[in-house]
C-alpha cells in the first residue's frame, strides 16, 4: 500500500471544509448556513446513489401521478422530492420550501424552523432517466431577514437577492457546482470516500464560446431575434466559423457544459409557450446566478434575468444565458426588434 498517497487524500479540499473556510470569514456567522448546505449535500448523495441503482431497484418508470406542471412523475422524481424535503426540514434551518413537484409552497412547522427559504427542482431532466442521460438537482437559497412569520413574499423575490445557488449533476460522475456569492466552484463526488472534492476551483466562463444549445425542433414557432441569432450561429456573415450545436435536453447538463466550455444556452418563448418553458424560481434564477458569478450573463429577452420579480412560485420565463459576448449579441437583436415596433 502507498501510505504516503493515502495520507495525501486526507488533505483534500472537501465541500464541508470549503464551506467551513468560507464561514470563518464572517465572525458573526453561527454556522446555520453551513449546516443547511451539509443537508443539501446529503440529499444530493442520496439521490446520486438512487439514480445509479435506479434500474436495479425498479425506480425507473412512472409513478402514476402527474405533478403541478402537468408532467407525468417518474418514480425517481417522487423519491428525490421526498429526500430533499426531509433533508431540508431536518436541518432545522429552513422556513419555506418550494419544489417543482409540489403545487403549494411548504411552510416548515415552527419547532423546526430556521431563517432560510430553499427553492429547488429535485430531479431536473427526468424524462431522460430511462436512457441514461445526465440529470440533476437545482437549488437556490434565500434568507428571511426579519423575525416575522414567513410568508410567500419571502420567496417571491428577484434572483439578485439569492444568498447561494447550485446544482448537482448525476452523470458519468456526480458533480456539485456551488456559488455563495463569491465566485463559482465545482466539486466531484469521490465514491470511495463518499465526499465531494474540490475539482473545479473558481470557474470562469469564457467571454465568447463556440457552442449554442437550443431545441431546434421549436424553430418554426420562434420569434425574430431568436431565429436571427440561431441563423447567425450556423451561417455567420462576418467570416467567422459556425458555432456547434449541442443540446442534451437536460438543463443541468446543458448549463454545465456551457459554464465550462462557453457558448450560450437558449430556451426562448415561442408560439406554443409564450411565457417560455423554464421555471423562474428554481431553474432560471439559480442558473442565472451561477452564470453571473462565473462572469457570464443571463437575459430574458426583455431584462436581466436576476431582476425579474416573480408573482407566483411556478412562474415561467424565456431565458438566454452563457458567455458575456454571446448574450450581448442576443440582447442587441432584441433591442433592434424593439426599435422597429
Point out the domain boundary residue: 200, 220, 245: 200
Asked if pLDDT for residue 10 goes beyond 70, the answer is no
∠86-251-269 over CA atoms, to 5°?
A: 115
In a domain, 163, yes or no: yes
Torsion of CA 5, 11, 13, 16, to 10 degrees: 120
pTM: 0.93
In a domain, 205, yes or no: no
In a domain, 259, yes or no: yes
Point out the domain boundary residue: 154, 181, 200: 200
Residue 64 to residue 76: CA distance in whole angstroms:
12
Asked if pLDDT for residue 266 goes beyond 90, the answer is yes
- Going by pLDDT thresholds of 50, 70 and 90, the confidence category of residue 114 is very high
∠69-75-80 over CA atoms, to 5°?
A: 80
Mean pLDDT of 222-245: 94
Q: Which three cell numbers stand for residue 89?
A: 426540514
- Going by pLDDT thresholds of 50, 70 and 90, the confidence category of residue 185 is very high
- The pLDDT of residue 9 is 60
CATH number at residue 331: 3.40.190.80
For residue 35, give its domain range.
3-200
CATH number at residue 100: 3.30.540.10
DSSP-H helix ranges across the chain: 3-9, 15-23, 32-52, 75-90, 224-234, 251-261, 285-293, 324-340
Amino acid at each position: 500500500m502507498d501510505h504516503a498517497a493515502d495520507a495525501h487524500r486526507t488533505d483534500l479540499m472537501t465541500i464541508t471544509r470549503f464551506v467551513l473556510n468560507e464561514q470563518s470569514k464572517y465572525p458573526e456567522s453561527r454556522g446555520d448556513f453551513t449546516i443547511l448546505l451539509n443537508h443539501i449535500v446529503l440529499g444530493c448523495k442520496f439521490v446520486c446513489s438512487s439514480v445509479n441503482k435506479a434500474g436495479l431497484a425498479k425506480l425507473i418508470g412512472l409513478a402514476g401521478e402527474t405533478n403541478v406542471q402537468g408532467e407525468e412523475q417518474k418514480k425517481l422524481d417522487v423519491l428525490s422530492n421526498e429526500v430533499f424535503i426531509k433533508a431540508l426540514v431536518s436541518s432545522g434551518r429552513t422556513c419555506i420550501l418550494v419544489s417543482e413537484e409540489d403545487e403549494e409552497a411548504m411552510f416548515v412547522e415552527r419547532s423546526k424552523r430556521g431563517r432560510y427559504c430553499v427553492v429547488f427542482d429535485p430531479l431536473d431532466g427526468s424524462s431522460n432517466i430511462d436512457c441514461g442521460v445526465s440529470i440533476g438537482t437545482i437549488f437556490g437559497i434565500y434568507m428571511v431577514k426579519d423575525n416575522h412569520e414567513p410568508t410567500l413574499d419571502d420567496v417571491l423575490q428577484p434572483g439578485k437577492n439569492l444568498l447561494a445557488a447550485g446544482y448537482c449533476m448525476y452523470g458519468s460522475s456526480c458533480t456539485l457546482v456551488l456559488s455563495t456569492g463569491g465566485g463559482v466552484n465545482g466539486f466531484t463526488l469521490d465514491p470511495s470516500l463518499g465526499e465531494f472534492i474540490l475539482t473545479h476551483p473558481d470557474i470562469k466562463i469564457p467571454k465568447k464560446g463556440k457552442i449554442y444549445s437550443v431545441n431546434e425542433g421549436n424553430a418554426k414557432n420562434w420569434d425574430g431575434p431568436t431565429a436571427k441569432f440561431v441563423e447567425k450561429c450556423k451561417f455567420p456573415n462576418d467570416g467567422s466559423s459556425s458555432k456547434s450545436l449541442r443540446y442534451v435536453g437536460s438543463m443541468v447538463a446543458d448549463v454545465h457544459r456551457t459554464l465550462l466550455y462557453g457558448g450560450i444556452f437558449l430556451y426562448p418563448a415561442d408560439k406554443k409557450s409564450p411565457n417560455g418553458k423554464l421555471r423562474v424560481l428554481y431553474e432560471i434564477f439559480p442558473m442565472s446566478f451561477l452564470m453571473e458569478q462565473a462572469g457570464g450573463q443571463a437575459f430574458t429577452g426583455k431584462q436581466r434575468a436576476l431582476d425579474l420579480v416573480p408573482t407566483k412560485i411556478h412562474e415561467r420565463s424565456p431565458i438566454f444565458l452563457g458567455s458575456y459576448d454571446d448574450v450581448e449579441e442576443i440582447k442587441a437583436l432584441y433591442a433592434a426588434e424593439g426599435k422597429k415596433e
